[in-house]
Amino acid sequence: MEFRVIVHASNPVDALPQDDVAKMFRRQEKAWKEWDDGPRVEPVDQKWSAPVRVSFTQRVHGSSPREIRTYWHRQIFSAREAPPLQRDTDEEVIDFVASTPGGIGYVTADTKLPATVKELRIEE
């Protein structure tokens, strides 16, 4: 399943390397380097069972959903980080990103995007 990464419409960043996007979703990158004095990175994931999450996880993280779930269990149990918020639908992800200036999420490729969010190009 194809997907698009989205950010808040006010975000000046148009493209990021794939590795930077993965780090943002693993909470290893907490600031928008290209956005001076910008807000904190706020990733939002789709629910574990969503086909778009499987595609995103495999392509961006280069891992299976099970490996990412194990990563988050380790982070939680060692009191390091909490996983990103999860939303159930593309529309809920869009709503979160549209209302969060530092928001970053992903939706299925054919989802219509409102003017409150924009697509972020992933550089491989």
Total-model pTM: 0.94
Residue 114 sits in a domain of what CATH number? 3.40.190.10
Find out whether 103 and 7 touch, Cβ atoms under 8 Å. Answer: yes
Find out whether 43 and 104 touch, Cβ atoms under 8 Å. Answer: yes
Q: Which domain holds residue 34?
A: 3-123
Closest CA to 28 of 37, 17, 19, 16: 19
Number of structural domains the chain divides into: 1
Closest CA to 36 of 16, 18, 11, 15: 11
pLDDT > 70 fraction of the chain, expressed in percent and rounded: 100
Per-residue pLDDT tens digits for 32-53 = 987 778 899 999 999 999 999 9
